[in-house]
Structure 1
Amino acid sequence: MKRIFLLFNVLSLVGCVEHHITEKPANNLIDHGDYAIDTFFPSQVQDERVRFLIFHYTAVDDTESLRLLTQGKVSAHYLISSNPGKFNGKPVVLQLVPESKRAWHAGVSGWAVRNNINDTSIGIEIVNDGFHEHSSRRQWIPYHKEQMILAASLARDIIARYQIKPQNVLAHSDIAPLRKTDPGPQFPWKTMAQQGVGAWPDAETVTKYLQGKHRWSSGDVMIIQQALAAYGYTIPKTGKMNSETQRVISAFQMHFRPRNITGVADMETEAIARALVEKYCAQMPLLICCENLRYHYIA
């Protein structure tokens, strides 16, 4: 009986398809030479391939940025020049790679459970020197206001088109913290978040997790490691401070606490990390705080 029912369903579907092809308008059919494609039956089980939006600085001037991104071994979907031109009174961004194609901007990278972020991201390069070295100290170069206005407009459009989550709008240094520093601490992440681009912690939640302690007092390395890992960073979860942990914390600070990016595991860093996890990672494995204030994952 089940076989008869299944056969009836299959024959009904075949009949439906044949009826559709002969009766429906031809605009659902695409001619590919030796065969045709019918687009009348889209599956509901699908989503966008693009999940991440990544910001970069070029570290060179306009001319060299364009040369490297069009003729070199790296590329990006978009380039925002140091002084964007105008078309009909509107600022112009350069599209170097169609969004439907992969650009080579992320390199060896990872976020949350994903690697090879080139495969699932849109890359925006912004012409900016990054930093200058002065007596072993770095002077970070500010972005031009016009660049940031254009970057926000472009990013909002991309985010809306692919429904990119706030916590997936990232710095190159977020997804490759051991190799990269761009777009650096001068990138206005808080302002961008206020304009609908990217994540930012709620001040009240940060204060809650500070627990009345001074922001520069020592934080718990294990809590910071596990909170950053829950948020998406690739970081050891050993409870010990090492060079890798310090560099990842510094990358996190460049994004969310740019006034102090030393990589020290202080209390404010811990509070910001926990506030972000609370706000954006409800869908992640739950974090519970035990008596010793260590975090443990539960399914």
Structure 2
Amino acid sequence: MRLVLLLALTLLLSACHSALEQRNGYWVDTAHPAQGARPRIRVVVLHYTAEDFPASLATLTDREVSAHYLIPRQPPQQAGEAVIWQLVPESQLAWHAGPSFWRGATRLNDTSVGIEIVNQGYRRTLTGLQWQPFTAAQQQVLTMLLRDIIRRYGIAPENIVGHSDIAPQRKQDPGPLFPWQQLAQQGIGAWPDAATVQRYLAGQAADQPVSPERLLATLQRYGYDAATARTPESQRKLIAAFQMHFRPQDYRGLADAETLAIARALLARYGEAQ
């Protein structure tokens, strides 16, 4: 019996010889991948640095904070192509998300790639916040980087997010000038279908007030951490984070009909958080 088992094992190894991988003093048979496996990386989190490039590089290579990639405002060229900085291998964890939540998951550092984009964020003026635009060169190389990451890990569109999406009580980056819609037009990230938004609006004025509780429940279904937003101010911050991503022309954090219609259109297109 033992001889039969050894023979069967030998035949199996011979049949799968092309799947054998030699390592340091042993061999591994890779012919039987488990169906329950999935990539560790499921989310991409986009940030602005709020500092110039030298300060950003110093901060992100110190002990307290890190990110996988850093994109300067005007990336230098090498053989006609942009150069960006990889500070942490994708296989390793970077400290960029902090306390976070997205679509039922916490500890987003464990399952994400963090991309920092050099941008000063905002400055306060007499007429309100003035945000710094992202450069065309940044947008171009970011598009290529995101395409590569999505291809490598099969990341769903709804899992391309901003720091403010996963930590709306603490963060505002990448801010209302980040080109989410332009990226979505190139197949990167989520964006609501305009016709579906209009169908859910059903002739209501965009600024028609709606129940904050109803809007927050819809945002929770899509993936935001609305369950812990219990005060009016925390609810406003969460709604504003959603609006900065999906309706940046008005991100005051008011619960209105257009915001609810956008959230419902996203659910119709991408489904509920599991």
Q: Deviations over 1:57-105 (max 9, x none)?
A: 0000000111111124111111111110111111112111111111111
Q: Deviations over 1:218-266 (max 9, x none)?
A: 022222111100110001389x871111110000000001011110001
Instruction: Report the equivalent of 1:78.
Output: 69
Q: Which runs of 4 or more aligned residues in structure 1 lie more than 6 Å from their structure 2 counterparts after TM superposition?
A: none
Which secondary structure state, in structure 1, belongs to the residue aligned with residue 148 of structure 2?
Answer: helix
2:101 aligned residue (106, 110, 115): 110
2:217 aligned residue (210, 217, 226): 226
| 1:17 paired to 2:4 | no
Instruction: Report the equivalent of 1:242.
Output: 232
What TM-score do you get using the length of structure 1 for normalisation? Answer: 0.85
The residue type paired with residue 164 of structure 1 is I
Q: Which has the larger radius of gyration?
A: 1
CA distance, structure 1, for counterparts of residue 17 and residue 11 of structure 2: 11
Which secondary structure state, in structure 2, belongs to the residue aligned with residue 71 of structure 1?
Answer: coil
Is the 1:30–1:38 Cα contact (8 Å) retained in structure 2? no
Is the 1:166–1:197 Cα contact (8 Å) retained in structure 2? yes
Bigger Cα displacement from structure 2, 42-51 vs 23-32: 23-32
The residue type paired with residue 236 of structure 1 is A
Note the C-alpha offset of 1:26: 8.1
Is the 2:19–2:31 Cα contact (8 Å) retained in structure 1? no
CA distance, structure 1, for counterparts of residue 36 and residue 231 of structure 2: 44
Q: Deviations over 1:104-160 (max 9, x none)?
A: 110100111100001111111100000112248211110001101111111011111
Instruction: Report the equivalent of 2:265.
Output: 275
The residue type paired with residue 30 of structure 2 is T
Is the 2:20–2:27 Cα contact (8 Å) retained in structure 1? no
CA distance, structure 1, for counterparts of residue 156 and residue 169 of structure 2: 24
Unaligned runs of 5+ in 2: none
Is the 2:45–2:163 Cα contact (8 Å) retained in structure 1? yes
Instruction: Report the equivalent of 1:39.
Output: 30
What TM-score do you get using the length of structure 2 for normalisation? Answer: 0.92
Unaligned runs of 5+ in 1: 1-6, 286-299
CA distance, structure 1, for counterparts of residue 227 and residue 232 of structure 2: 9
Is the 2:163–2:174 Cα contact (8 Å) retained in structure 1? yes
CA distance, structure 1, for counterparts of residue 102 and residue 7 of structure 2: 46
RMSD between superposed Cα atoms in Å? 2.3
| 1:261 paired to 2:258 | no
| 1:206 paired to 2:197 | yes
Q: CA separation of 1:25/1:186 partners in 2, compared to 1, >3 Å: closer, same or farther?
A: same
Bigger Cα displacement from structure 2, 62-71 vs 217-226: 217-226
CA distance, structure 2, for counterparts of residue 208 and residue 148 of structure 1: 32
